[in-house]
């Protein structure tokens, strides 16, 4: 506390009016309600923390008089904006006793619609990262703001006087106020420029739309309106632009509930097996970078069908058979106009222009009100990177003409290829300021580091979609002496203001102008804070107003694509599912989150096909050297992973790994005789693949570079949570010749239409010797729609955050002792060329006749009167018989005590859930704490529990709405309807254990027209 | 000793010993200085015990994570060792109680040490359920003690609870039976004891035995009753141990054949262990006159019989798996024989099915070195039987996503070795401080004082 005494405190959103800031002065009044609560909460929290490690901490303030409106033990929810990536999902942050402990998607927010991805869920852990910077740095030395401001101010004055060049390098800034403030700051210089780039760049899409539709943004993708989706390498359910938003939309276009069901046909052409590809109805493997000729041929075919002619003579040859392209074109063309969607993930403006041309031919462009799939009004403002400007900046840096460089939200020395040259260039810049929250590759070469507080501890705003604005409000005081960018800029401009004032001021001046209703600004402001967002008049970026018609840009034939030579591969670089571009490299939850496809943890790897592996004599875990022959330092060495569905000529590597400082995770997990550390001191987790990135025509190119692969002879243990990947048992171990295990029910759309029971297998009435349990009012259960689940794994992290699940480290996962209460089983079927993937969320099935209950000698696991299978930690002696007897193997044993490597992160623990000790069994409780909470609420308010009042963490977080919780005794509940759906089945029903968690048959739209 | 009777039925005790000589032979080894061989044995076994204590202490300090278990395979060496040791104990009770009731006089020479073996094996066995718990300091939760927590009772449906009762009963009855049978001998030792402490200790233990006819009468009655009480335990204990598995729903465990299969297996393994121990004790304690080739031969024949039952059970399991049509059950057995743990399965079959067949040959039965080696093979085989049942059933069950393997850690291996250390340490101490052969009983089967018409039974 004492370190913050000179810090200014930013006022609460609810309290408007006087904006004075006052220093905290011990116990002297006036301390207002909110501040008192926050101070006390933090004081208690830090005291509790200190109790874990150090002696008595002074300055603890007990509640002598309870602050108004604060009930200890009752959570408060704040609507805010997620800062996990640039998508800008609306969140509700749950704060208990002054500290945020859980983030959930805001159900009203147009981007998240209630869901939140794994990264968003995990970002609460980052708030309590004790390794994040707590004070500004001068060089590598901790300093204080006064000194820093003095030094930076002096240098800036010098630069301004000399008319020097100032560059502000950021990732996509989705907050209008930050965008404006950076601009205002730069306007004080003769040559100031704001350069934006996204390390996982999609700038080609913006570039193409600027050319074709006069739109300086990404159009709104309306997956829910699409009847046919053809995606060439765009992983829109995974790491592409706005996955939560896309998942929700995609799923509302693929639902089988009720008579107005809709189910789009999704074709994915891709070089690696992506999350999106794993959900596609049809998947075609293509070499990385061959998107261009494929889109070109598709365009030609569709133009032919449309009766128009393509503006080119001949096309380079297509890597796919003619009839495949013809079939795709016909499928697209025969769907209603405007109801198809063609996407491409290649960051190449020329190809993206072709994609726009195809979509134009298909009539997909329209406005928000038309029923078309591409919306040029409610456009996405989530990505604003401009590779060309970045390229210019790099040239300027190279030539040594930049005087001051501010780096925020990006890490160019890590993100970009050609690191060494950049270091040299940086040393020639007079002033380099980084705003990073962890020391990173770039900040090592920055003169000053001005760390910003976590997004949960600072004011800001966002406009992810044109016309949808949100305020990001803090839920806790910043931990340590960090300062928001807005305040730093204000001070350096000579007009110190708090971030709160800056945001409000901007909103009063600019956003309020665009209001659709609300009489006064206070109304508008409070309404927005309460709802988490407001709809305002759209201002679509673009010079003259976007058009829905393709302007007269030159559509050119794609350049010839060259297939890699025999001993070469096409490279495909993609964002890591958890770490994205590496910005979450300090989050242990995300490292231990199994990759949704490969199920690996704590590593990145080079995916190769089994054919390629065989040819190179490699098996999973062999370290290979992957080098670009056209470059000296363009190589990486990392383990290969033989991946089904991978294109034979492609090597795929995820970006985001190998970040500086990740050797901190050496301390993760239990330490014992045979235990291995997750990482050795001085190493990094995974390997950075950025050296293999390259510039093509001033655009960052992620796919298609030709590389060589050599065996190094080294081995590296790749750890996966799943060891057997199909539902087939080895043929030689089958007595009857039958090898398939009917765990997952699957059918296709045509069969489902003919018979909604299709895919199921009838069970005879299963006799039982057991009598019915007496049930009280409720009988809780779950239904999981396998057709809806994309496998994104948001639920896994939501469960981890909600239920205080520890991180155990790579070695323990290798020993198959990960603690996640829910896992997503991923099964492959079919062969490499045409692979089908099933994602099956698996958690405690809460059997009515639970086999775990009968075998526990001490009744530590018992059936509740409401149908829950409960684990009583106090009573458990740890015989593990329950886990042995669980057919679903969903029980988790505490093999060790699992203290957090970072004790500060204990503040993220949910006080409603016991932290389990060593030696006890645990498992999914269906979030019983939430059930009890809702029941208690209903009791005190006298309001009957309504269907949907209770949402376990997994249900709440699911962007696809694939999991439904409810009361099976309530015939009208959504769950009861699903339980009576012909698609509903329970896994291993033949055992007679009567699970209350059920699944809905997976339907694939294989219908060919 | 007449030539004719000797030809008809070989004597139970060789060397035509007199009762006084018997007392001398057996007590002598307790009174003199122990041989160097004994010291070597004790040194080895107590070192193993120390290793085991270190391993268990480490486990208690760190957690069960120091074992190679995981979320799929929740039991490994721990319960394998438990079932193995419990099984070892069974032969002791069979020999001392069941054969007593069947008036098999040849048992007299081996019953004391076989029973000691039972006690020590059950002690080793009891250790494992205790230390395999995640929180062994709460082990008392498994007893239905009166309490104010509801009251909170144990789960009477759980086979693990039955196990607690079965093993505890078994241990107590065996201990009492063993001790009561030893009282007359303890009195003998008391009478021979020279030093004050030894004398006092043996007097206290011999419960004021005075050798009167009335005492003998009561002793015989109690002994008979205890034998009657112990006999059903031979069958009940391992039946209940088998239910630890049979009441589960796991394919490979969920089998009605388990009770008889386990009982036969237990006796089979126990006899092998008795042979192993007897053949060593015979040599080390110079008891060749008392533990004769005839004893060894009888036990070999019992091994053939129980081994046959075990082999039958192995094949029945496969047949039923096929016959049931249950694909999960079928898979488990195919996976045992041909899956990743097939080496363990075929070790088991080799040791338990093929080895006993060699005992059909009298030449092999009477070659004590060979018998010793083969008995060790059976011990190994029976340990693997439990390992196969537990681990191969668990490691690949219903959902292929959970399929996994099990690799024991050094700590587990050390714990297993430690249990052998405990067993042999206790056995060697027993050899040193208590009569390994029941003097009072063996005197009853001597030739001495019988008419020369074929006595000696």
pLDDT over threshold 60, residue A5 = no
* pLDDT tens figures, A91-118: 999 988 888 999 999 989 989 888 999 9
* pLDDT tens figures, A476-523: 888 888 999 999 999 998 889 888 999 999 999 888 888 888 778 888
Q: Are residues A396 and A419 in the same domain?
A: yes
- DSSP-derived secondary structure for A252-267: HTEE--STT-EE-EEE
SS (H, E, C) chain B: CCHHHHHHCCCCCCCCCCHHHHHHHHHHHHHCCCCHHHHHHHHHHHHHHHHHHHHHHHHHHHCHHHCCCCCCCCCCHHHHHHHHHHHHHHHHHHHHHHHHHCCCHHHHHHHHHHHHHHHHHHHHHHHHHHHCCCCHHHHHHHCCCCCCCCCCCCCCCCHHHHHHHHHHHHHHHHHHHHHHHHHHHHHHHHHHCCCHHHHHHHHHHCCCCCCCHHHHHHHHHHHHHHHHHHHHHHHHHHHHHHHHHHCCCCCCCCCCCHHHHHHHHHHHHHHHHHHHHHHHHHHHCCCCCCCCHHHHHHHHHHHHHHHHHHHHHHHHHHHHHHHHCCHHHHHHHHHHHHCCCHHHHHHHHHHHHHHHHHHHCHHHHHCHHHHHHHHHHHHHHHHHHHHHHHHHHHHCCCCHHHCCCCCCCHHHHHHHHHHHHHHHHHHHHHHHHCCCCCHHHHHCCCCCCCCCCCCCC
The C-alpha atoms of residue B297 and residue B370 are separated, in whole angstroms, by 12
| Listed residues A380, A399, A427: the one ending a domain | A380
Residue of B nearest to A989 (CA): B398
B56 within a domain of the structure (yes/no): yes
Instruction: Give me the total of CB pairs closer than 8 Å, taking one residue from chain A and one from chain B.
Output: 200
Mean of the per-residue pLDDT values of chain A: 86
Structure tokens at A743: 């765990």
Q: What are phi and psi of A118, to 5 degrees?
A: -60, -40
pLDDT over threshold 70, residue A48 = no
Q: Is A873 on the interface with B (CB under 8 A)?
A: no
Determine the average pLDDT of the residues in A210-238: 89
Between the two ends of chain A, the Cα-to-Cα distance in Å is 68
Distance from CA of A725 to the nearest CA of B (A): 7
Between the two ends of chain B, the Cα-to-Cα distance in Å is 12
A window 877-896, beta carbon within 8 A of B: 877-881, 883-885, 887-889, 891-896
Would the CB atoms of B401 and A854 count as touching at under 8 Å? no
Q: Are residues A98 and A226 in the same domain?
A: no
pLDDT over threshold 50, residue A156 = yes
For chain B, the domain total comes to 1
pLDDT over threshold 60, residue A18 = no
- Say which of B327, B403, B405 has its CB closest to residue A736: B327
The C-alpha atoms of residue A775 and residue A770 are separated, in whole angstroms, by 14
Give the model's pLDDT for residue A466: 87
Q: Are B118 and B89 in contact (CB under 8 A)?
A: yes
Residue of A nearest to B156 (CA): A857
Confidence of residue B3 (pLDDT cuts 50, 70, 90): very low
Would the CB atoms of B158 and A735 count as touching at under 8 Å? no
Give the model's pLDDT for residue A56: 46
pLDDT over threshold 70, residue A759 = yes
For chain A, the domain total comes to 5
Give the model's pLDDT for residue B447: 63
Least confident span in A49-63, A84-98, A326-340, B121-135: A49-63
A553 within a domain of the structure (yes/no): no
Structure tokens at B398: 């219903």
Give the model's pLDDT for residue A49: 54
Who wins on pLDDT, A538 or B412?
A: B412
Give the model's pLDDT for residue A30: 53
CATH at A82: 2.20.25.90
Confidence of residue A552 (pLDDT cuts 50, 70, 90): low
Work out the angle at residue A783's Cα, subtended by the Cα atoms of residues A780 and A787, and round it to the nearest 5 degrees.
170
Mutation target among A721, A884, A917, A920 for the B interface, most CBs of B within 10 A: A884
Distance from CA of B424 to the nearest CA of A (A): 28
pLDDT over threshold 90, residue B135 = yes
B147 within a domain of the structure (yes/no): no
For residue A615, the SS3 value is helix
Confidence of residue A42 (pLDDT cuts 50, 70, 90): low
Would the CB atoms of B398 and A875 count as touching at under 8 Å? no
Q: Which of A70, A50, A66, A67 is nearest to A58 (CA)?
A: A50
A102 within a domain of the structure (yes/no): yes
Give the model's pLDDT for residue A11: 40
For residue A394, the SS3 value is helix
* pLDDT tens figures, B8-61: 556 666 666 677 777 777 777 777 777 788 899 899 999 999 999 999 999 999
Chain B residue numbers touching A768 (CB-CB < 8 A): none
B215 within a domain of the structure (yes/no): yes
* pLDDT tens figures, A692-737: 998 888 898 998 889 999 999 899 999 999 999 888 888 888 888 8
Q: Are B381 and B351 in contact (CB under 8 A)?
A: yes
Residue of A nearest to B336 (CA): A733
pLDDT over threshold 80, residue B348 = yes
Residue-range definition of the domain harbouring residue A54: 2-127
Give the model's pLDDT for residue B457: 40
Q: Are residues A116 and A168 in the same domain?
A: no
Q: How far is CA A903 from CA A158, A316, A882, in A?
A: 44, 59, 32
Give the model's pLDDT for residue B409: 94
Would the CB atoms of B62 and A893 count as touching at under 8 Å? no
pLDDT over threshold 60, residue A58 = no
Distance from CA of A775 to the nearest CA of B (A): 21
The C-alpha atoms of residue A616 and residue A708 are separated, in whole angstroms, by 11
* pLDDT tens figures, A302-322: 888 888 877 777 788 888 888
pLDDT over threshold 80, residue B390 = yes
Q: Are A641 and A624 in contact (CB under 8 A)?
A: no
Q: Is A738 on the interface with B (CB under 8 A)?
A: yes
B284 within a domain of the structure (yes/no): yes
| Listed residues A320, A352, A380: the one ending a domain | A380
Would the CB atoms of A724 and B325 count as touching at under 8 Å? no
Would the CB atoms of A884 and B394 count as touching at under 8 Å? yes
Q: Is the alpha carbon torsion for A214, A387, A126, A39 positive or negative? A: negative
Would the CB atoms of B399 and A823 count as touching at under 8 Å? no
Exposed / middle / buried, residue A323 (Cβ in 10 Å: 0-12, 13-18, 19+)? exposed
Q: Are residues A57 and A153 in the same domain?
A: no
B163 within a domain of the structure (yes/no): no
Who wins on pLDDT, A215 or A932?
A: A932
Q: Are residues A277 and A422 in the same domain?
A: no
The C-alpha atoms of residue A964 and residue A251 are separated, in whole angstroms, by 14
Strand partners, A842: A823
Q: Is the alpha carbon torsion for A540, A541, A543, A546 positive or negative? A: negative
For residue A611, the SS3 value is helix
Q: Are residues A123 and A146 in the same domain?
A: no
CATH at A301: 3.40.228.10
Radius of gyration of chain A (CA): 28
Strands A650-655 and A699-701: unpaired
HSE-CB at B174 with a 13 A cutoff on CA atoms is 32
3-state helix, strand, coil in chain A (%, to 5): 30, 20, 50
Least confident span in A560-564, A739-743, A959-963: A560-564
Q: What are phi and psi of A465, to 5 degrees?
A: -125, 140
Q: Are residues A163 and A271 in the same domain?
A: no
Determine the average pLDDT of the residues in B269-289: 81
A47 within a domain of the structure (yes/no): yes
The C-alpha atoms of residue A63 and residue A822 are separated, in whole angstroms, by 38
The C-alpha atoms of residue A75 and residue A63 are separated, in whole angstroms, by 17
Q: Are residues A424 and A485 in the same domain?
A: yes
Least confident span in A236-245, A981-990, B29-38: B29-38
Q: Are residues A254 and A325 in the same domain?
A: yes
Would the CB atoms of B135 and A876 count as touching at under 8 Å? yes
Q: Indicate the angle between helix axes A291-306 and A322-334, nearest 10 degrees.
A: 50
Give the model's pLDDT for residue B185: 87
Q: Which of A797, A790, A1008, A1002 is nearest to A223 (CA)?
A: A790
* pLDDT tens figures, B136-172: 999 999 998 888 877 788 999 899 999 899 999 999 9
pLDDT over threshold 60, residue B2 = no
B272 within a domain of the structure (yes/no): yes
* pLDDT tens figures, B288-300: 777 777 788 888 9
- Say which of B63, B244, B339 has its CB closest to residue A919: B63
Strand partners, A637: A625
pTM attached to this predicted model: 0.89
List, in order, residues 6 or more apart from A515 with CB less than 8 Å away: A524, A534, A536, A537
Q: Is A874 on the interface with B (CB under 8 A)?
A: no
Distance from CA of B150 to the nearest CA of A (A): 13
Who wins on pLDDT, A543 or A789?
A: A789
Chain B residue numbers touching A881 (CB-CB < 8 A): 74-75, 158, 160, 244, 248
Work out the angle at residue B317's Cα, subtended by the Cα atoms of residues B314 and B321, and round it to the nearest 5 degrees.
150
Q: How far is CA A914 from CA A98, A121, A795, in A?
A: 19, 20, 20
pLDDT over threshold 80, residue B99 = no
A868 within a domain of the structure (yes/no): yes
Strand partners, A535: A468
Mutation target among A855, A922, A995 for the B interface, most CBs of B within 10 A: A855
Q: How far is CA A401 from CA A189, A826, B162, B388, in A?
A: 15, 53, 84, 73
Residue of B nearest to A861 (CA): B155
The C-alpha atoms of residue B129 and residue B121 are separated, in whole angstroms, by 14
What is the CA A835 to chain-centroid distance, rounded? 25
Would the CB atoms of B250 and A884 count as touching at under 8 Å? yes
Q: Are residues A374 and A510 in the same domain?
A: no
Residue of B nearest to A733 (CA): B334
Structure tokens at A716: 């590296």
A window 804-863, beta carbon within 8 A of B: 812, 815-818, 823, 825-827, 840, 842, 851, 854-859
Who wins on pLDDT, A834 or A785?
A: A785
- Say which of A851, A888, A894 has its CB closest to residue B134: A894
A51 within a domain of the structure (yes/no): yes
pLDDT over threshold 90, residue A784 = yes
Q: What are phi and psi of A342, to 5 degrees?
A: -115, 125
* pLDDT tens figures, A570-581: 999 999 888 888
Mutation target among A881, A921, A988 for the B interface, most CBs of B within 10 A: A881
pLDDT over threshold 70, residue A2 = no
- Say which of A823, A827, A855 has its CB closest to residue B159: A855
Distance from CA of B62 to the nearest CA of A (A): 6
The C-alpha atoms of residue A644 and residue A653 are separated, in whole angstroms, by 15
CATH at A710: 2.40.40.20
Give the model's pLDDT for residue B452: 53
Chain B residue numbers touching A859 (CB-CB < 8 A): 152-155
Q: Are B182 and B226 in contact (CB under 8 A)?
A: no
Cis peptide before B151 (omega within 30 of 0): yes
Q: Are residues A365 and A402 in the same domain?
A: no
pLDDT over threshold 90, residue A653 = yes
pLDDT over threshold 50, residue B320 = yes
CATH at A505: 3.40.50.740
Confidence of residue A28 (pLDDT cuts 50, 70, 90): very low
Q: Are residues A107 and A176 in the same domain?
A: no
Would the CB atoms of B70 and A817 count as touching at under 8 Å? yes
Look-up: residue for tokens 């810049």? A429
Residue of B nearest to A671 (CA): B62
Residue-range definition of the domain harbouring residue B94: 3-142+170-443
Mutation target among B139, B156, B318, B400 for the A interface, most CBs of A within 10 A: B400
């Amino acid at each position: 506390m004492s370190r913050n005494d000179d810090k200014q405190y930013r006022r609460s959103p609810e309290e408007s009016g006087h904006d004075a800031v006052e220093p905290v002065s011990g116990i002297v009044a006036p301390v207002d309600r909110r501040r008192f609560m926050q101070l006390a909460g933090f004081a208690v929290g830090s005291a509790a923390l200190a109790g874990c490690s150090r002696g008595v901490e002074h300055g603890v303030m007990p509640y002598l008089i309870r602050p108004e409106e604060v009930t200890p033990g009752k959570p408060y929810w704040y609507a805010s904006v997620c800062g996990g990536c640039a998508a800008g999902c609306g969140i509700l942050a749950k704060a208990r006793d002054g500290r945020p402990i859980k983030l959930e998607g805001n159900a009203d927010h147009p981007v998240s619609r209630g869901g939140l991805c794994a990264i968003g869920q995990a970002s609460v852990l980052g708030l309590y990262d004790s390794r994040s910077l707590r004070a500004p740095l001068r060089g590598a030395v901790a300093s204080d703001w006064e000194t820093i401001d003095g030094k930076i101010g002096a240098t800036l004055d010098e630069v301004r006087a000399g008319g020097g060049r100032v560059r502000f390098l950021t990732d996509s800034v989705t907050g209008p106020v930050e965008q404006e403030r950076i601009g205002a700051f730069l306007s004080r210089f003769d040559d100031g420029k704001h350069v934006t780039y996204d390390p996982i760049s999609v700038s080609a899409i913006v570039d193409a739309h600027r050319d074709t539709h006069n739109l300086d943004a990404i159009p709104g993708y309306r997956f829910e309106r699409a009847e046919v989706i053809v995606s060439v390498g765009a992983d829109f359910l995974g790491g592409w632009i706005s996955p939560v938003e896309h998942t929700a939309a995609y799923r509302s276009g693929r639902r089988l509930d009720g008579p107005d069901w809709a189910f789009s046909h999704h074709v994915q052409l891709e070089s690696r097996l992506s999350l999106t590809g794993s959900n596609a109805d049809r998947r075609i493997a293509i070499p990385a970078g061959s998107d261009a000729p494929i889109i070109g041929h598709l365009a030609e075919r569709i133009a032919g069908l449309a009766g128009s002619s393509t503006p080119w003579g001949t096309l380079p040859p297509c890597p796919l058979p003619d009839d495949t392209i013809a079939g795709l074109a016909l499928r697209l063309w025969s769907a209603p106009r405007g109801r198809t969607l063609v996407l491409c993930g290649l960051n190449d403006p020329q190809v993206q222009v072709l994609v726009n041309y195809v979509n134009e031919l298909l009539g997909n462009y329209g406005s928000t009100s038309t029923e078309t799939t591409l919306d040029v009004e409610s456009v996405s403002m989530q990505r604003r990177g401009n590779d060309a400007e970045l390229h210019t900046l790099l040239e300027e840096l190279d030539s040594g003409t930049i005087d001051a460089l501010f780096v925020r939200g990006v890490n160019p020395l890590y993100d970009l290829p050609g690191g060494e040259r950049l270091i040299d260039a940086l040393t020639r810049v007079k002033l380099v300021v980084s705003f990073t929250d962890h020391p990173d590759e770039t900040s090592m070469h920055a003169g000053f580091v001005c760390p910003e507080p976590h997004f949960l501890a600072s004011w800001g705003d966002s406009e992810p979609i044109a016309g949808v604005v949100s305020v990001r409000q803090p839920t806790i005081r910043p931990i340590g002496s960090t300062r928001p960018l807005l305040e730093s800029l204000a001070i350096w401009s000579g007009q110190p203001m708090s971030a709160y004032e800056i945001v409000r001021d901007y909103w009063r001046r600019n956003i309020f102008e665009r209001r659709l209703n609300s009489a006064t600004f206070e109304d508008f402001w409070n309404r927005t804070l309460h709802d988490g967002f407001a709809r305002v008049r759209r201002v679509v970026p673009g010079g003259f107003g976007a058009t829905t018609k393709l302007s007269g840009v030159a559509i050119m034939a794609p350049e010839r694509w060259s297939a890699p030579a025999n001993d070469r591969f096409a490279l495909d670089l993609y964002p890591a599912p958890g770490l994205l571009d590496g910005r979450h490299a300090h989050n242990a939850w995300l490292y231990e989150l199994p990759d949704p496809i490969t199920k690996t943890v704590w590593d990145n790897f080079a995916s190769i096909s089994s054919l390629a592996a065989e040819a190179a004599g490699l098996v999973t875990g062999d370290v290979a050297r992957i080098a670009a022959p056209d470059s000296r330092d363009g190589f990486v060495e990392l383990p290969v992973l033989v991946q089904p569905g991978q294109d034979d000529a492609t090597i795929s590597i995820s970006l985001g790994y190998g970040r500086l400082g990740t050797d901190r995770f050496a301390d993760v997990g239990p330490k014992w005789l045979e235990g291995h550390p997750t990482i050795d001191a001085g190493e990094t987790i995974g390997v950075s693949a950025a050296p293999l990135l390259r510039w093509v025509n001033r655009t960052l190119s992620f796919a298609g570079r030709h590389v060589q692969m050599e065996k190094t002879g080294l081995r590296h243990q790749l750890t996966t949570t799943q060891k057997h990947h199909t539902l087939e048992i080895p043929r030689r171990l089958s007595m009857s010749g039958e090898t398939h295990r009917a765990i997952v029910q699957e059918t296709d759309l045509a069969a489902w239409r003919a018979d909604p029971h299709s895919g199921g297998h009838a069970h005879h009435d299963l006799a039982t010797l057991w009598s019915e349990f007496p049930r009280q009012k409720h009988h809780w259960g779950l239904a999981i729609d396998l057709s809806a689940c994309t496998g994104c794994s948001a639920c896994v992290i939501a469960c981890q955050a909600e239920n205080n699940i520890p991180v155990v480290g790579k070695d323990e996962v290798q020993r198959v002792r990960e603690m996640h209460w829910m896992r997503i089983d991923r099964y492959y079927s079919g062969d490499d060329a045409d692979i089908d993937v099933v994602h099956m969320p698996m958690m405690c099935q809460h059997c009515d006749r639970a086999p775990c209950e009968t075998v526990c000698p001490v009744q530590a696991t018992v059936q509740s009167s409401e149908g829950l299978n409960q684990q009583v930690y106090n009573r458990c002696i740890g015989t593990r018989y329950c886990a042995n007897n669980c057919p679903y193997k969903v029980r988790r044993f505490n093999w060790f005590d699992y203290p957090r490597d970072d004790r500060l992160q204990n503040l993220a623990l949910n006080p409603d859930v016991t932290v389990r000790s060593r030696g006890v069994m645990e498992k999914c409780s269906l979030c019983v704490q939430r059930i009890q909470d809702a029941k208690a609420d209903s009791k005190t308010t006298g309001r009957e529990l309504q269907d949907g009042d209770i949402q376990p963490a997994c249900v709440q977080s699911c962007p696809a709405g694939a999991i439904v919780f409810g009361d099976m005794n309530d015939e009208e509940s959504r769950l009861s309807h699903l339980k009576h759906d012909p698609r509903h089945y329970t896994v291993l029903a033949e055992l007679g254990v009567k699970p209350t968690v059920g699944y809905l048959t997976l339907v694939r739209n294989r219908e060919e027209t | 000793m007449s030539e004719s009777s000797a030809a008809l039925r070989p004597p139970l005790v060789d060397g035509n010993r007199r009762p006084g000589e018997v007392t001398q032979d057996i007590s002598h080894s307790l009174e003199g200085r122990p041989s160097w061989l004994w010291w070597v044995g004790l040194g080895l076994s107590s070192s193993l015990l120390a290793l085991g204590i270190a391993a268990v202490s480490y486990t208690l300090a760190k957690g069960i994570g120091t074992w190679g278990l995981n979320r799929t395979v929740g039991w490994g060496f721990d319960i394998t060792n438990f079932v193995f040791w419990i099984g070892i104990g069974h032969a002791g009770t069979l020999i001392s109680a069941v054969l007593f009731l069947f008036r098999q006089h040849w048992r007299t020479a081996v019953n004391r040490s076989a029973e000691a073996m039972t006690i020590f094996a059950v002690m080793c066995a009891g250790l494992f359920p205790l230390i395999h718990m995640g929180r062994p300091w709460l082990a008392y939760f498994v007893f239905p003690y009166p309490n104010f927590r509801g009251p909170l009772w144990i789960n009477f449906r759980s086979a693990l609870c039955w196990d607690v009762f079965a093993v505890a009963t078994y241990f107590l009855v065996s201990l009492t039976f063993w001790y009561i049978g030893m009282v007359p001998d303890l009195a003998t030792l008391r009478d021979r004891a020279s030093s004050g402490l030894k004398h006092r200790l043996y007097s206290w233990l011999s419960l004021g035995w005075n050798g009167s006819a009335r005492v003998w009468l009561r002793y015989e009655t109690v002994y008979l009753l205890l034998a009657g009480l112990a006999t059903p335990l031979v069958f009940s204990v391992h039946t209940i141990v088998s239910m630890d598995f049979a009441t589960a729903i796991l394919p490979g465990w969920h089998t009605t054949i388990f009770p008889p299969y386990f009982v036969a297996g237990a006796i089979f393994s126990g006899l092998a262990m008795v042979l192993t121990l007897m053949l060593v004790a015979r040599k080390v304690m110079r008891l060749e006159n008392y533990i004769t080739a005839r004893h060894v031969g009888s036990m070999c024949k019992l091994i053939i019989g129980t081994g046959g039952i075990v082999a039958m059970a192995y094949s029945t399991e496969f047949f039923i798996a096929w016959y049931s049509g249950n694909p999960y059950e079928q898979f488990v057995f195919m996976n045992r024989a041909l899956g990743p743990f097939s080496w363990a399965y075929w070790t088991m079959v080799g040791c338990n099915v093929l080895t006993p067949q060699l005992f059909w040959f009298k030449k092999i039965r009477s070659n004590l070195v060979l018998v010793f080696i083969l008995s060790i093979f059976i011990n190994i085989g029976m340990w693997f039987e439990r390992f196969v049942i537990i681990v191969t059933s668990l490691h690949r069950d219903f959902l292929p996503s959970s399929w996994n393997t099990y690799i024991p850690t050094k700590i587990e291996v050390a714990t297993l070795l430690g249990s052998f250390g405990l067993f042999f340490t206790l056995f060697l101490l027993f050899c040193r401080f208590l009569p390994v052969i029941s003097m009072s009983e063996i005197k009853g089967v001597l030739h001495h004082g019988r008419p020369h018409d074929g006595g000696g039974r």
